[in-house]
């Protein structure tokens, strides 16, 4: 009974359920970040992103009565509006202890003949028998139902720096300047090295392969300071050339290992026939090996680009923190500040920072599995 055709074993169901769970764990936060990037700061603070498509009732921040005082019928009156956008008041109060003491249209007696009335649309009227100039006016604690509201102003602010002082345009260009060369250079160097280790006979080849494998376990943090001192000694210091070389050095072991395993699995007859026909090693590499190794090249390109695009530590060490050279991750950290805030701006900036890696991953993911499994099965 356990081997009936069409019956899936329990382990297969466990694998499928685990896969679905992992996909949801990755997709849901990304979706939440996208939705939050189109919401206002008050909405983000007041409710979760999953409630963005429903009418939300939330307690607004306390608003102090303000406005021009007008004398009318022997009294002094101040008119104002609580909400800058469309909202419907459900309750209000003048104390944080009882923020829902009154309903829409109710009049609160504040003592000494002073009254305050708040309507459902958020308009209020303060009436006092004496002038209120120079006195501390009361605060209004409002609870309101806010309608659906999405805005592109968050993206406008961070892209065009529309008076917010929080543009990420320069940081975005800096990140591209770092990530693209830091992805291409290791691939070019590693492809030549991988071909030599896979198909060229020379003394010490096995030791070099073992050395490359050993470099895979060297902690990145262990090499940062010595490498920076070496950069300063040879005169390149902090700059784009230095960070390109750093990312190249940190990425080469994985690139050589991945490409070498793939190239070893290519058919030997093709290469031997090319040599018999008089092709040089360089011609074999360019015209045969590279086209056949595209899945492995794409796999490493995905990993290296994601690593360099999302990097913060290496950028801080080898590039600096000035606005002219700061990368996107550092810019977002500065936006957060020591106490947080401006969550709508942070959400938009964070989604822009992951949009490019997502595009790269989904455009090249069909090569990822083929490249990673290269050389694992003979």
Per-residue model confidence as pLDDT tens digits over 319-371 = 877 777 888 888 887 776 555 567 788 888 888 888 888 888 888 777 666 65
* Claim to verify: residue 223 and residue 306 sit in the same structural domain: yes
Per-residue pLDDT reduced to its tens digit, 62-72: 888 888 888 88
0.85 exceeded by pTM? no
Mark whether 142 and 192 lie in a shared domain: no
Residues 210 and 303 both lie in one domain: yes
Q: Do 212 and 241 fall within a single domain?
A: yes
- Residues 35, 178 share a domain: no
The pLDDT of residue 231 is 84
Whether residues 340 and 198 fall in one domain: yes
Among 79, 111, 146, the domain-final residue is 146
Question: Of all residues in the chain, what percent are helix, strand and coil, respectively (each to 5)?
Answer: 55, 15, 30
User: Domain tally for the chain?
Assistant: 3
Specify the long-range contacts of residues 55-59, CB closer than 8 Å, at least 24 apart: 55/145, 55/146, 55/147, 55/148, 56/145, 56/146, 57/90, 57/143, 57/144, 57/145, 57/146, 58/143, 58/144, 58/146, 59/99, 59/141, 59/142, 59/143
pLDDT averaged over the chain? 82
- Structural domain contains residue 110: yes
Q: Which of 132, 93, 89, 91 is nearest to 109 (CA)?
A: 93
> What CATH code is carried by the domain that includes residue 280?
1.10.3720.10
Same domain for 92 and 203, yes or no, is no
Last residue of some domain: 113, 146, 179?
Answer: 146
Is 139 in the same domain as 165? no
Q: Are residues 304 and 188 in the same domain?
A: yes
178 lies in a domain?
yes
Reported as a single tens digit per residue, the pLDDT across 245-285 is 989 989 999 899 988 988 888 888 888 888 888 888 888 88
208 and 133 housed in the same domain = no
Check whether residue 163 and residue 211 sit in a common domain. Answer: yes
Q: State which residues form the domain around 84.
A: 56-146
pLDDT digits (tens, 9 = 90+) for 86-121: 778 888 888 888 888 898 889 998 888 889 999 888
Are residues 307 and 213 both part of a single domain? yes
């Amino acid at each position: 009974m356990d081997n009936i055709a069409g019956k899936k074993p329990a382990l297969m169901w466990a694998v499928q359920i685990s896969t679905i769970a992992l996909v949801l764990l990755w997709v849901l936060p990304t979706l939440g970040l996208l939705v939050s990037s189109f919401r206002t700061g008050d909405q983000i603070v007041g409710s979760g992103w999953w409630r963005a498509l429903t009418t939300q009732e939330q307690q607004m921040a306390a608003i102090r009565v303000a406005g021009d005082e007008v004398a009318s019928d022997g009294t002094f009156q101040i008119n104002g509006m609580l909400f800058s956008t469309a909202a419907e008041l459900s309750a209000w109060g003048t104390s944080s202890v009882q923020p829902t003491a009154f309903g829409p249209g109710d009049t609160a007696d504040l003592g000494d003949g002073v009254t305050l009335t708040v309507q459902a649309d958020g308009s209020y009227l303060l009436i006092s028998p004496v002038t209120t100039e120079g006195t501390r006016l009361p605060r209004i604690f409002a609870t309101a139902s806010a309608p659906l509201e999405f805005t592109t102003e968050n993206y406008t602010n961070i892209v065009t720096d529309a008076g917010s002082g929080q543009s990420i345009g320069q940081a975005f260009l800096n990140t591209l300047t770092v990530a693209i060369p830091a992805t291409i250079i290791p691939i070019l160097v590693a492809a030549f090295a991988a071909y030599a280790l896979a198909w060229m006979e020379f003394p010490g080849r096995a030791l070099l392969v073992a050395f490359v494998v050993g470099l895979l376990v060297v902690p990145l943090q262990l090499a940062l300071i010595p490498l920076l001192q070496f950069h300063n000694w040879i005169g390149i210091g902090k700059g784009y050339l230095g960070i390109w070389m750093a990312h190249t050095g940190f990425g080469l072991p994985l690139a050589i290992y991945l490409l070498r395993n793939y190239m070893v699995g290519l058919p030997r007859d093709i290469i031997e026939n090319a040599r018999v026909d008089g092709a040089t090693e360089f011609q074999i590499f360019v015209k045969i090996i590279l086209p056949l190794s595209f899945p492995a090249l794409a796999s490493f390109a995905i990993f290296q680009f994601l690593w360099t695009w999302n990097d913060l530590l290496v950028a801080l060490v080898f590039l600096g923190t000035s606005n002219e050279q700061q990368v996107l991750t550092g810019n977002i950290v500065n936006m957060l500040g020591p106490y947080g805030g401006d969550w709508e701006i942070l959400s938009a900036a964070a989604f822009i920072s992951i949009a490019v890696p997502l595009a790269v991953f989904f455009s090249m993911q069909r090569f990822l599995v083929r490249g990673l499994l290269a050389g694992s099965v003979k």
